[in-house]
Amino acid sequence: MTRKLIPILALSCLPFTDLLAQCNDPFNLTSSPAVLCSGRKMQLSATNYPGATYTWVGPAGSGVNGNLPATVNVNNIISTQHNGLYTVTVTMPGGCTYSASVNLFVESTPTKPLVSYKTPVCPEQTDTLTGFTSGVFGVTYYWEGPDNFSYSSALSNVAYVPNFSAAKAGEYKLWAISLPGCVSDTTDFTINLAPGVVTDFTPKLMYGCDEDSVLFENGTTGATTHAWTFGDGNSSTDQYPLHIYGNQGAYNVRLISRNAYCADTTDKVIDIKHFVKAQFSVDDDSICQNTVINFTNASTNDPGILPRYAWSFGDGAVTDDFNTSYNYLRYGVYQATLVVTDYLGCKDSMKKEIVVDSTGRINFTASETEICTGGTVSFTGDFMKLQNLGTIWDLGDGNTISGPSDITYSFDKAGIYPVTFKVDYRICPDEEHVVSINVKPIPKISLGEDRTICPNGQPLTLIDLINIGNSVAKWKWNNGEGSETSSIIVRSEGAYAATVDIDGCSATDTVVIKNNCYIRIPGAFSPNGDGNGDYFLPRQALSEGVTKFAMQIFNRWGEKVFETNSVDGKGWDGNLNGKQQPLGVYVYLINVSFEDGSAENYKGNVTLLR
């Protein structure tokens, strides 16, 4: 900022008559320049009167203290420490004195800028020039250079010149001016131009059959080193490399060339193709055996060349036709190959996998084809397991089983069931085999209700009430004689069973014949209190149909030792009048009447044991 100089004047004069003669001249005190900047020179000038004496007073270190000329420098180079009041007193020869003062403020001058830049630079390269000064905020930077280059950036401590063209080599200047107008020292710098690099190359292909060679002619200028990448994972630093490609195709080749300062990169795609390309298609690559498939040749080659074609079908068969058809008679996986040979003897080939499936055989065996209801049948599948996707059993009764090739199954209803075994093949048509299973019904048999019999009474006839008169029925009884008729006659109690067989299926019924008479008289008893045979003719030995019962027992001398008429009595306990009878043989007389009106009389011996 600009500070105004405000002179402060004081006057001391001689008597009035002398004052008019010597003291009427004007007096002034000025500073130069108008804006005082640190690090720069400043002069103070008072009105110059010949013969006058000037006395100066200023801040410490300003160098203006004492008797000095009318024009003085403030310590040659001023600084902000020189701020303050400056006073000059002039004594005229006639004795008249003047006094003037000025209050000075010194502005800070920006430091000489530091410059950051790149040198030498490469042609067409851009850079950012960076300037920096300190001590003052809010300065404006000014740049100048060759070809009328100029640039400014205001109100910043750091100056940037973006996208500076590297082609503008030469001498450059940078200075900074603060807001009050203080100008920094100028920074001079030089930007040199490095030799540029321009990459270029030309590939020259030398075709082969298995490998192709490429000579790369390097047309780069200005470079000292070269780095090649050939697009197939290989590289080189030769200036004129020769590279061999093992496979056909398109490759991106890159060349990076450098000198000490500059670099350049060039990419080119080289397409390496032989003169012939084998290619074919088939109308189906997954077939069932004994099926013809068509091979269509789609090979390409240079015009005017007649290549040779060689087909092989993977099973030993070959042909040299252009297009062809072939019938695969055996199942398997085959590699069909087409080899094309050009006029140079170079070959190209193509392979395609042909899958040939086979249905083979299908069959199954049943452990039985005729069974009775509830019986089981084991089924064993026999089929070509190669290329099948699964099996299904259809049992003919609404049930199916998927997965296993061997099963066991039970039919719970009579009938004829077509059992079907199906095999799902991957390519060939599905196959199936059918066997009918005859499930025969289980016959019914009935011998009637349980009955009673008296061994000495009328015999009973047991008969199959359902199947009598069936000419194909066959019976077997468990009466100890193995009777094979529809009925038998029984004369004693027991459980009687008959099994009837009709067309191989059988059923059994059992009837229980109970004793309705007194038929078991023990030959001995032992009334010893052990709970086993303590009574002669115990109650459980009596039949259900007894209505009257009378029993007398005599010893060997004919004396009666026991008598009872009780139907449900226990019998004789071996005592007479409370005394145990001697061991030995006793005679019994028994008279029994039954509810059917019959009667029986028994006489015999029984032995008393202890």
* pLDDT surpasses 70 at 319: yes
Structure tokens at 396: 């003919």
Q: Which tens digits make up the pLDDT trace of 88-117?
A: 999 988 788 889 998 889 999 999 999 988
pLDDT at 475: 92
Same domain, residue pair 97 and 65: yes
Residue 9's pLDDT band, with cuts at 50, 70 and 90, is very low
**CATH number of the domain within which 251 lies:** 2.60.40.10
**Does a structural domain hold residue 184?**
yes
Q: Which tens digits make up the pLDDT trace of 548-589?
A: 888 999 999 999 999 998 887 778 999 999 899 999 999 999
**Does a structural domain hold residue 425?**
yes
pLDDT at 17: 38
Same domain, residue pair 379 and 424: yes
Residue 195's pLDDT band, with cuts at 50, 70 and 90, is confident
Say if residues 93 and 16 touch (Cβ distance below 8 Å): no
Within its chain, how far is the Cα of 19 from the centroid? Answer: 114
Query: How large is the greatest C-alpha to C-alpha distance in the chain, in angstroms?
Result: 217
Q: Position 324: which residue type?
A: T
pLDDT at 252: 97
Same domain, residue pair 186 and 173: yes
Question: What does pLDDT average to over the chain?
Answer: 85
Whole domain around residue 171: which residue ranges? Answer: 114-191
Residue 335's pLDDT band, with cuts at 50, 70 and 90, is very high
Same domain, residue pair 427 and 375: yes
Q: Which tens digits make up the pLDDT trace of 429-445?
A: 888 899 999 999 999 99
* Count of domains observed in the chain: 7
Say which residue, 320 or 599, is predicted with more confidence. Answer: 320
pLDDT at 24: 59
**Does a structural domain hold residue 2?**
no
* pLDDT surpasses 90 at 458: no
Question: For a pLDDT cut of 90, what percent of the chain falls above it?
Answer: 42
pLDDT at 138: 82
Q: Select from 357, 389, 406 the last residue of a domain.
A: 357
**CATH number of the domain within which 541 lies:** 2.60.40
Say if residues 604 and 557 touch (Cβ distance below 8 Å): no
pLDDT at 575: 92
Say if residues 527 and 534 touch (Cβ distance below 8 Å): yes
pLDDT at 304: 66
Q: Select, from the ranges 138-147, 227-236, 284-293, 449-458, the one with the highest average predicted confidence (pLDDT).
A: 227-236
Say if residues 407 and 401 touch (Cβ distance below 8 Å): yes
* pLDDT surpasses 50 at 20: no
Say which residue, 418 or 540, is predicted with more confidence. Answer: 418
Sorted by sequence, the CB contacts under 8 Å of residue 370 that are 6+ apart come out as 437, 438, 440, 504
Indicate the range of 201-215, 307-321, 571-585 predicted with least confidence: 201-215
Q: Which residue has the tokens 């036709």?
A: 321
Q: Select from 439, 468, 486 the last residue of a domain.
A: 439
* pLDDT surpasses 60 at 500: yes
Structure tokens at 94: 């006639």
Q: Position 300: which residue type?
A: T
Distance CA 371, CA 191 (A): 112
Residue 541's pLDDT band, with cuts at 50, 70 and 90, is very low
pLDDT at 3: 39
**Does a structural domain hold residue 4?**
no
Q: Position 83: which residue type?
A: N
Partners of 254 in the β-ladder: 229, 267
**Does a structural domain hold residue 109?**
no
Within its chain, how far is the Cα of 589 from the centroid? Answer: 102
Say if residues 301 and 276 touch (Cβ distance below 8 Å): yes
**Does a structural domain hold residue 3?**
no
Q: Select from 156, 191, 226 the last residue of a domain.
A: 191
Say if residues 411 and 397 touch (Cβ distance below 8 Å): yes
